[in-house]
Amino acid sequence: MTAGWLETARTESGGIALRAGGLWDAGNVARLDADLRGAGLTGTAPLTIDLAEVERLDTAGAWLLHRTVKRCRAAGGDAGFSGLRPEHEAMLQQVAANDRPAEIEPPAPNPLLAILAHIGRAAVDIAGETRQQIAFLGLILVTLGRVIRQPGRLRLTPLVHHMEKVGFDALPIVGLISLLIGVVLAYQGATQLQRFGAEVFVINLIAVSVLREIAILLTAIVVAGRSGSAFTAEIGSMIVHEEVDAMRTLGLDPMEVLVLPRLLALVLTLPLLAFFADMMGLFGGMMMCWLALDISPGLYLERLNDAVSLWSFWIGIIKAPVFAFLIAMVGCLEGLRVERSAESVGRQTTRSVVTSIFLVIVVDAIFSIFFAAVGV
């Protein structure tokens, strides 16, 4: 058997004729590959490969021939084989059938660089989210200013409806949570203070913690999970059903029709919910002190009056409208960002709750630092 060889000739029509012979196998594939690459094949010239003198053809040789014909056809030229034996034809067909290029998996990135890239993407996402929230805040203020100049644009019926939904309907869950928190604070505080014979000061602990922090914070978190998510789901569902587009077609501003009534309803009702939560938390603490520490309600109220100032009550109430504004703003913004799919409604609703709770806690920390700095 002779080693594999390749001869090149030009046809009368300007095409290229290749004559292959000898052994086209893995032992000669490197040399034959170099011969094929140096054969001066042009992309559009017709190509014919004569395999009549090929003595042996294995997968490696068949791949070289198939690749050459494939490249010529991809460039727009006419290419094919001649002089094929049945076994050679079967080998070429098998190679062509298995020619399924697969993407090479990229190398694993450096773990440190991957962490830095992840942090960078997160920072960019946070910056974009902050920019959108600030822009939406500006849009809300513009709409609110327009309504103040023209009070007739305010829709009172939706406002009262949403006040009932976010306020009155939330009383049971807010009251129950605040009552139980008062009980827990009284019990845990008494357990620790009894070691020092100062269990009567548990009233101070309950009063300060409930009025300044616990009641309003838990109320805001409950409202974010209950009402903020409802705002997102309601507006998102309207976007999915193209109701918001219909409003714009009719000349109605979604900010006035959908956003402003919900925002004002929550701003007006959350201080009332905070007051209710304060009372229920103090009542739960009083009941626990009466049952566990034998502190009568009269003594409890007397100590309560001495333990807290009026500012302790007003601090929680002052936080309420700010928290309400943040929860309603985020809930409505995420609702307006819903795409036309049910999956998007669920995703934006989850995002609304998480973002609202995060902002509430951050702003509550800022309030605490501020009030401590001014000595209140």
Domains in the chain with CATH codes:
5-97 (3.30.750.24), 134-374 (no CATH)
What pLDDT is attached to residue 202? Answer: 85
- Where is average pLDDT lowest: 48-52, 130-134, 212-216, 241-245? 48-52
- Please indicate whether residue 55 or residue 363 has the higher confidence score (pLDDT): 363
pLDDT, average across residues 175-195: 87
Token output for 206: 């309950």
pLDDT band, very low/low/confident/very high, at 196 (cuts 50, 70, 90): confident
Residue 12: what pLDDT? 64
The answer to whether 322 and 337 are in contact (CB under 8 A) is: no
Q: What is the pLDDT of residue 106?
A: 76
Cα(77)–Cα(70) distance, integer angstroms: 10
Q: What is the pLDDT of residues 92-125, one digit of tens each?
A: 788 888 877 777 777 777 888 889 989 999 999 8
pLDDT of 42 reads 61
Task: Report which DSSP code applies to 48.
Answer: E
- pLDDT band at residue 263, thresholds of 50, 70 and 90? very high
Average pLDDT over residues 137-144: 92
**Under 8 Å between Cβ of 228 and 331:** yes
Tokens 């052994």 found at: 23
Between CA 26 and CA 24 the distance in angstroms is 7
Q: pLDDT per residue over 48-62, tens digit each?
A: 777 777 778 888 878
pLDDT per position as a tens digit, 228-246: 999 999 999 999 888 888 9
Residues paired with residue 8 on neighbouring β-strands, in sequence order: 18
Task: Tell me the pLDDT band of 290, cut-offs 50, 70 and 90.
Answer: confident
Most confident stretch, 1-10, 72-81, 127-136: 127-136
Kindly state the tokens that stand for 93.
């067909």
Taking the chain, what is the end-to-end CA distance rounded to the nearest angstrom?
A: 102
**DSSP assignment of 100-151:** ---PPPPPPPPHHHHHHHHHHHHHHHHHHHHHHHHHHHHHHHHHHHHHHHSG
Q: Which pLDDT belongs to residue 127?
A: 92
- Rounded to an integer, the average pLDDT of 64-93 is 78
Q: What is the pLDDT of residue 43?
A: 60
For the segment 61-76, the average pLDDT, to the nearest whole number, is 78
